Structure 1
Amino acid sequence: MKILLINLFVLLSAFANAQSFTHSLSITAKQNGLQALAVSPELKNLSNTSFSDVRIFDKDKNEVPYFLVNESFNYSSVNFKEYKITDKEIGKGRYTSFIVLNPDKKAMQNIVLCSANSDAIKLCDVVGSDDMKQWYSVSDHILMYNLFDENSVQAYRTLSFPMVNYKFIKIEINDLYTLPLNVLKVGYFEGAISAGKLNSIKPSHEEYNTIREKKVSVHRVRFENASIIDHISFKVKAPNYFKRQARIYVNRSRRVKNTTENYREIVFEFELNSNTPNRFDLKDFREKEFEIEISNEDNPPLEFESIEYRQLQTYLVADFKQGEQYSLFAGDRTLKTPVYDIAYFKDKISQYVPTLEVSDLSALAVVKAEPIVVAEKHFWQEPWFMWLCITVASFMLFLFSIRILKDMKK
């Protein structure tokens, strides 16, 4: 009887702990230690915002602890670590320039500038050298904009470029058409990996129409899944001069007196202007469908060269072993956010944590259900037989409990 009860409890536990993931991908670690898995937009849009439905397992199916690093446009000065700079020149000729020292030749893929607030638009070039004699191109014409913080007199902005490990990295900011930018310090953020890196995401459908009687143009956007959008940019083809009010609408529904009412909610308002870059940061925006409505007044509708949607990079950081195979599973909505010890050491990471790029991973594979073949059931496969076993087991447990109580009274 005891063996029967134990088997029953094991069976019930197996049902309770079953996990139903919908997608998976494989990971191969390139070295030992902390490494950052760059989450693709496809995986990020599929998963919960908190990634509660994501787990990593090793080859023995042991759960691997990890923590999230969500990149941001703005970081706290508390986490800012300065680089040493030399040969700083301001307002001399065409450029403001300075050299960032990297004596240990560590791999770098971004540099954060702290500057006094300015609404100027700047172009920046990055070059590198190991001897300060021969310089090599790293990145040209990096656009710098929104160089101000509404809550501070200074702003932190990231210059991203291809990963390099030169001893000396020179930053040259073009001053040909505007006065110099007041760069206060240069460094990186502890606890960040790529400091504001953006990934492009593509809608499954876009449609642009003009409603002349309402004097508006409407751009309808639909994604395959509810997608996180952190940044949206517009390239206008015509006309050359424009100043239009625009807003993003999302269709909503609510219960009113036992009926469902549909309505449109404005989630973001902005202005498209020929004198600005027309790039906008969104906050907590995750939608599958939405509409961008532009007020034309009595002007001709805008013609767009492109509208681009981007999301900030997210990383999963874990302690991997070189050469080991790992699997990431996602999509189990029944799971809760995991609590791992490794999360308490999140502030120890920096941009020097090696990254596993998306190109190193296999494509996300949707787990498809196999066709169900209906076969003749035996009597022990029928639901009534399972309930009969449960009833018998419960009755035996009841008798066993009474016997124990009688023995205790004796």
Structure 2
Amino acid sequence: MEIQIKNRKAMRKLLIIVISLLITDSLFGQGYQWQAEVEKNDSSGFYKVDLNPSIVSKLNSQFYDIRIKDEKGTAIPYFLEKEPFSVTKRVFKEYQIIEKIKWRNGATVLVVENQHKDTINNIQLQIKNFDVRKRLELAGSDDYKNWYTIKENYTFRVADGQHTTSEVKSLNFPYTDYKYYRIVIYDWFSLPINVMKIGYYDSYKEEGKFTKLEHSTIERFDSVKTKETYIKVNFQEKPYFDKLVIKADEPTYYYRNAKICIQRKDKKGKTHYDVIDYITLNSNSDFTSYFSDFKYEDFYIIIENEDNPPLEKVSIEAYQLNRYLITHLELAKKYKLVFSNEEIQVRPNYDITHFKNKIRDDIPLLTTDNISTIRYKEKKKKTTSTLWMWSAIGVVALLLAYMSYKMISEMEKDK
């Protein structure tokens, strides 16, 4: 009897091992499921490959499972870049020097015109390198006759541009909007310094570039009982959107509290709505909410109507911040992207990631085309799985026969 129990335990262990092998085979060997052709490049160099939403939505949540390959199937090093929501940029705007004279006391006078009367708080002077002490003052005028002081006793002690023959010096002051600015540089005890350009730095905010997501479906239900509108938004794949815009055309004036939720059911089958964000919809403007790679394929917008009629003609738009694959491509070679691979869970380790700041921002942009499934991968997977399955069944059958024989033999001995 004891031997029979041991044999049964051994059979259980064997079955567990075989099942584990079958499960392992179903999990691994998947390979890349999709591919897309990369637009032909016209020279060797660095390029941005645009990853449109149809590609991004097929990647895993870390965006690790994508590669770019050449005609021979060799993987090319790359790194991914995503547009920021916004970035503050500075641009140098040069003024025309309308007068440059020398006063009798030895001072150099420079007058520039702020043609559009922009409001500014700085003037930049590009000056040839020097190593002397200079005192400056700044005045402003709207009619070129009456001058008003802005700031006095600026001091420049040295201009030493790193690895260049000039340096930009700043005159900072409170915001003003004069049409003319007069800069006086006192040269009492030395020759004048060489002012090459005069201008100012203007700062502005540049919004990131978005792409609208397509192929979403919207269902709605107005509940009289709860006085709420339930709007279900469904995407066929993970949307990874960064911006959500909600619009309603009717009524003319409205102000409604709402929430963005994920639906789930508990063990008893009861439906719950987990709130991701509380929002307010009103007729003054379209509602815009920002996320970071929102991954849920299905979500709900629940609008509290109170005693008001439900909103009509509600539209919902989702947008992804643009993503790019940055890589170095060779002329006269064809490239393609392969992506969506369950086996890949870690970021590829390429040297190029250490040199991101060496690559210009204005490199050419390439698009992708002809997104298609990789058919041969599926065929290979099916054949391999079939062989494993029949082999495992054969092994189990043989072992069961052997174990049965052993058990019968032991039982005969016990008799």
TM-score above 0.5:
yes
Question: Is the counterpart of residue 344 in structure 1 residue 354 in structure 2?
Answer: yes
CA–CA separation in structure 2 for the residues paired with 1:85 and 1:201: 41
SS state at 2:369 partner: coil
CA–CA separation in structure 2 for the residues paired with 1:321 and 1:68: 19
8 Å contact from structure 1 (residues 247, 269) kept in 2 = yes
Structure 2 residue aligned with 1:20, among 26, 31, 35? Answer: 31
Shift of 1:91: 8.4
Unaligned runs of 5+ in 2: 1-26, 96-113, 121-200, 396-415
The 3 A distance-change label for structure 1 pair 20 and 246 is same
Structure 2 residue aligned with 1:89, among 113, 116, 125? Answer: 116
Structure 1 residue aligned with 2:329, among 320, 330, 334? Answer: 320
Equivalent residue runs for 1:125-144 within 5 Å: none
The 3 A distance-change label for structure 1 pair 348 and 261 is farther
The 3 A distance-change label for structure 1 pair 344 and 260 is farther
Question: Is the counterpart of residue 367 in structure 1 residue 374 in structure 2?
Answer: yes
8 Å contact from structure 2 (residues 50, 324) kept in 1 = yes
CA–CA separation in structure 2 for the residues paired with 1:25 and 1:315: 14
Structure 1 residue aligned with 2:85, among 65, 73, 79? Answer: 73
Q: What's 1:39 paired with?
A: 51
Structure 2 residue aligned with 1:302, among 288, 292, 311? Answer: 311
The 3 A distance-change label for structure 1 pair 81 and 89 is closer
Q: What's 2:9 paired with?
A: none
8 Å contact from structure 2 (residues 47, 366) kept in 1 = yes
- Letter aligned with residue 354 of structure 1: P
Query: May I ask how many residue pairs the two structures share in their alignment?
Result: 265
8 Å contact from structure 2 (residues 240, 292) kept in 1 = no
SS state at 2:310 partner: coil
Question: Is the counterpart of residue 292 in structure 1 residue 310 in structure 2?
Answer: no
The 3 A distance-change label for structure 1 pair 217 and 29 is same
What's the CA shift string for 1:322-363, capped at 9, x where partnerless?
231012111111122101111122234454121113xxx222
8 Å contact from structure 2 (residues 28, 343) kept in 1 = no
Question: Is the counterpart of residue 222 in structure 1 residue 234 in structure 2?
Answer: yes
CA–CA separation in structure 1 for the residues paired with 2:253 and 2:298: 30
8 Å contact from structure 1 (residues 199, 310) kept in 2 = yes
The 3 A distance-change label for structure 1 pair 85 and 322 is farther
SS state at 1:214 partner: coil
8 Å contact from structure 1 (residues 203, 221) kept in 2 = no
The 3 A distance-change label for structure 1 pair 301 and 88 is farther
8 Å contact from structure 2 (residues 233, 298) kept in 1 = yes
SS state at 1:46 partner: coil
8 Å contact from structure 2 (residues 30, 381) kept in 1 = no
Equivalent residue runs for 1:158-197 within 5 Å: 185-186=203-204, 196-197=208-209
8 Å contact from structure 2 (residues 29, 381) kept in 1 = no
8 Å contact from structure 1 (residues 234, 304) kept in 2 = no
CA–CA separation in structure 2 for the residues paired with 1:332 and 1:323: 28
What's the CA shift string for 1:128-156, capped at 9, x where partnerless?
xxxxxxxxxxxxxxxxxxxxxxxxxxxxx
Shift of 1:51: 2.0
Equivalent residue runs for 1:267-278 within 5 Å: 267-278=276-287
Shift of 1:289: 0.5
- Letter aligned with residue 241 of structure 2: I
The 3 A distance-change label for structure 1 pair 233 and 90 is farther
SS state at 1:220 partner: strand
Greater Rg, structure 1 or structure 2?
2
Identity %: 25
- Letter aligned with residue 24 of structure 1: Q
SS state at 1:213 partner: coil
CA–CA separation in structure 1 for the residues paired with 2:381 and 2:279: 52
Question: Is the counterpart of residue 245 in structure 1 residue 263 in structure 2?
Answer: no
Shift of 1:261: 7.7
What's the CA shift string for 1:244-302, capped at 9, x where partnerless?
11111112467x8xx89863211122111122332221234211101111111111111
CA–CA separation in structure 2 for the residues paired with 1:349 and 1:373: 43
- Letter aligned with residue 356 of structure 1: L
CA–CA separation in structure 1 for the residues paired with 2:351 and 2:382: 45
Q: What's 2:411 paired with?
A: none
Q: What's 2:123 paired with?
A: none
- Letter aligned with residue 338 of structure 1: P
- Letter aligned with residue 21 of structure 1: Y
CA–CA separation in structure 1 for the residues paired with 2:279 and 2:203: 31
- Aligned-residue CA RMSD (Å): 3.7
Q: What's 1:150 paired with?
A: none
- Letter aligned with residue 372 of structure 2: A
8 Å contact from structure 1 (residues 47, 330) kept in 2 = yes
Shift of 1:69: 0.5
Q: What's 2:103 paired with?
A: none
